[in-house]
């Protein structure tokens, strides 16, 4: 078994790939690590795949996966995780802002200190204020909701014990929350390491401010899915019951008012002329709909099997 698998998602980073792979190789060789570098080309529109092909011919430790189109960072990481053979799996961004010099320290924390996941913390960042302030706010909210005390969920430099990445599946934009997914799957020893953050040397950032909004939506989504994916009726049934019961009580009250008023010989408005009638009707309908949704979700949960959402067009240097 290899000691280190470096998984690198690639999207339009043709200029940085030669330097990055040389740097990773040098660090691993200097520390006596057996290693592989898995470069996952996520539908790049530049010459990234051609560069990966050339690098893989020059160094048999470099392996390549090529997506037929852009699927996103989560899909690239998931594909790399499935192929990784290393005892410790380390993820890095391809833009040279993550320093491979951190690999020995991360490896030691996993193998000697017993961590399941170690997340990098870019304590000193070389990013504009338009990225650092939203990032701090995003991380603070994520810490509060997830209960995991990490300073930098967005850091691409992370290390995982092999069995962690083999027992989780990431999709959509869930790459930010791999430590959270790991914790929910029983890998609770999660650590953090201050890492060096490099200034961008080539190209430009592929992520805009919208990633923070997407990040909050993803956090709500992953929290909801974790809590209710095996018992959706507990969520839909609860709110369905409350809605239906509220509508039923209001309806009974309106009928009581009507009957009591008639028995007393008092003029009484027609039930359908009262605003409360329509409120009760809406509550009853919503209650039934939530119940039906819960039943359908239960059926889907019991029969569902997730299929891989990405398609690999070509592989290099994989021999299994």
Based on the fold, state whether residues 40 and 133 are members of the same structural domain.
yes
pLDDT at position 210: 59
**Phi, psi (degrees; rounded to nearest 5) at 114:** 85, 15
Indicate the burial class of 194 (C-beta count within 10 angstroms; 0-12, 13-18, 19 or more): middle
Residue 135 lies in a domain: yes
- Phi and psi of 117, rounded to 5°? -135, 135
Beta bridge partners of 81: none
Angle between helix 232-263 and 275-303 (nearest 10): 160
Q: How far is CA 75 from CA 10, 32, 72, 87, in A?
A: 11, 31, 6, 21
Residues 29 and 96 in one domain: yes
Domain residues for 282? 232-303
Task: Give the pLDDT band (50/70/90) at residue 105.
Answer: very high
DSSP for residue 166: T
List beta partners, residue 12: none
- Which pLDDT score is estimated for 61? 96
Q: Is residue 99 in some structural domain?
A: yes
How far, in Å, CA of 32 to CA of 20, rounded?
18
Number of independent structural domains in the chain: 2
Predicted confidence (pLDDT) per residue in 160-195, tens digit: 999 999 998 887 777 888 888 888 888 989 999 999
Mean pLDDT of 75-98: 94
**Are 215 and 239 within one domain?**
no
pLDDT band at 305 (very low <50, low <70, confident <90, very high): very low
114: in domain: yes
Model confidence, pTM: 0.72
- The yes-or-no verdict on residue 68 having pLDDT over 60 is yes
The percent of residues in the chain predicted with pLDDT above 70, rounded, is 79
- Together in a domain, 160 and 237: no
Residue spans of beta strands (DSSP E) within 158-200: 158-161, 190-194
pLDDT for position 154: 81
CA separation for the pair 27, 98 (Å, rounded) = 13
Highest mean pLDDT among 103-117, 119-133, 246-260: 103-117
Residues 254, 169: one domain? no
**pLDDT for res 113:** 95
């Amino acid at each position: 078994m290899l000691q280190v698998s470096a998984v690198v998602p690639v999207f339009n980073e043709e200029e940085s790939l030669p330097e990055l792979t040389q740097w990773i190789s040098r660090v691993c060789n200097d520390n006596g690590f057996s290693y592989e570098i898995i470069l996952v080309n996520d539908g790049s529109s530049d010459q990234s795949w051609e560069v990966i092909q050339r690098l893989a011919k020059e160094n048999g430790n470099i392996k390549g996966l090529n997506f037929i189109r852009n699927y996103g960072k989560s899909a690239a990481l998931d594909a790399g995780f499935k192929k990784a053979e290393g005892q410790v799996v380390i993820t890095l961004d391809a833009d040279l802002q993550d320093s491979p010099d951190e690999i020995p320290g991360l490896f030691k924390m996993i193998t000697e200190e017993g961590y399941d996941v170690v997340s990098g913390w870019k304590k000193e960042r070389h990013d504009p204020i338009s990225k650092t302030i939203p990032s701090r706010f995003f991380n603070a909210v994520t810490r509060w909701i997830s209960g995991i005390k990490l300073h930098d969920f967005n850091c691409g430099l992370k290390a995982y014990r092999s069995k962690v990445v083999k027992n989780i599946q990431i999709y959509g934009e869930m790459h930010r929350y791999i430590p959270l997914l790991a914790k929910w799957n029983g890998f609770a020893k999660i650590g953090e390491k201050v890492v060096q953050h490099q200034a961008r040397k080539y190209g430009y950032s592929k992520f805009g401010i919208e990633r923070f909004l997407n990040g909050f939506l993803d956090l709500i989504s992953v929290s909801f899915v974790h809590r209710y994916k095996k018992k959706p009726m507990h969520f839909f049934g609860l709110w369905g019951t409350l809605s239906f019961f509220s509508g039923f009580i209001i309806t009974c009250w309106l009928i009581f008012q009507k009957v009591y008023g008639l028995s007393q010989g008092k003029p009484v408005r027609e039930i359908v002329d009262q605003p409360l009638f329509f409120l009760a009707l809406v509550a009853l309908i919503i209650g039934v709909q939530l119940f039906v949704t819960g039943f359908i979700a239960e059926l889907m949960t019991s029969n569902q099997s997730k299929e891989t959402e990405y398609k690999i067009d070509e592989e290099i240097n994989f021999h299994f």
